[in-house]
Structure 1
Amino acid sequence: MTSEATDTGTVRVDSWIWSVRLTKTRSAAASACRAGHVRVNGERAKPAQTVTAGDEVRLRHAGRDRVVVVRRVIRKRVGAPVAAECYEDNSPPPPPRETTAPAGVRDRGTGRPTKRDRREMDRLRGLGAQPPSEPSAT
């Protein structure tokens, strides 16, 4: 094996998360660790905590939980096909697109939404107050 990949040994968790392309930058991986979004074997991980083959790493990233088991420890960032061989992905599937709330999209250059527009957006998101019910005729 090369010096970049070893089956035995340890490497920092922030470096490993970046190396297998779970985050875009190493500083983003370190920030996720400091914020408590990374767990190694169920325990909160600091950026300098080491991981070995067989460890379970949980990462909360981009509104989604990623659960991976370390297969191979690598120190340098590698291509996506090689990175996929370094872990076993046990993440839950992402929610279907139909269940996620649609985001309000406005045309570019239309300016700030009016009060009426904001009420309509809140109503669509389910945040607005319900319209008053009409009194019943008795």
Structure 2
Amino acid sequence: MSEKDDSKVRLDKWIWAARFFKTRALAKAAIEGGKVHCRGERCKPSKEPKVGDELVIRSGDDERTVQVLLLSGVRRGAPEAQTLYQETAESVAKRELAVAQRKAGALGMQTDGRPTKKQRRQIHQFRTHQDD
């Protein structure tokens, strides 16, 4: 790719090249599903990111806030892909805390399975009294 082509790259292609998603189709679906925000707003796959833009990318349980450092539409090895962006310190700390909580089981609710008939009646009764 020439220097001129690198200045105009689609967001879905850049996210794929930066290795946030395995395929470009997954990157496009994530953007269309509202899992990627550019400058605090939802965006389209055809948006052209600029150097210095801040992106919030949600993938599974992880949410990363990254700053665009370089533009590229070519997918290369992971070490080269990591040079395209820099994750903010707050994002790293938040993600590490979430990983620690998941390992400790703090986020997962433990249940005894499906509610019994009596419990379902109580839930229904509780919900109908909340509407009054």
TM over 0.5: yes
Of the two, which has the highest radius of gyration? 1
Which residue of structure 1 lines up, in the alignment, with residue 101 of structure 2?
99
1:30-60 deviations in whole A, cap 9, x for unaligned? 0001111111111111111110111111111
Higher-strand-fraction structure: 1
Matched, 1:122 2:120: no
**Number of residue pairs aligned between Structure 1 and Structure 2:** 108
Gaps of 5+ in 1: 103-120, 130-138
Aligned pair partner of 2:73 in 65, 72, 75: 75
Instruction: Give 1:92's aligned amino acid.
Output: V
Question: Shift in Å at residue 99 of structure 1?
Answer: 2.3
Deviation of 1:98 (Å)? 4.9
Partner secondary structure for residue 46 of structure 2: coil
Deviation at 1:10, TM superposition (A): 2.5
> Between Structure 1 and Structure 2, which shows a larger proportion of helix residues?
2
Instruction: State the AA in 1 paired with 2:92.
Output: P
Q: 1:52 aligns with which of 26, 50, 53?
A: 50
* 1:79 aligned partner, one-letter code: G
Shift of 1:23: 0.9
Query: Using a 3 Å threshold, how does the CA distance of structure 1 residues 97 and 75 change in structure 2: closer, same or farther?
Result: closer
- TM (norm. structure 1) is 0.66
Q: What is the match of residue 26 of structure 2? A: 28
Cα 1:98–1:52, aligned 2, differ >3 Å: closer, same or farther? closer
* CA distance, structure 2, for counterparts of residue 9 and residue 98 of structure 1: 39
Pair 1:98–1:59, CA change in 2 (3 A): closer
> What CA distance in whole angstroms lies between the structure 1 residues aligned with 2:2 and 2:38?
22
- Counterpart-to-counterpart distance in 2, 1:46 and 1:40: 10
Name the CA distance, whole Å, in 1 between partners of 2:41 and 2:49: 12
Report percent identity of matched pairs: 31
Q: Which runs of 5+ in 2 are unaligned?
A: 120-132
Match of 1:122, SS state, is: coil
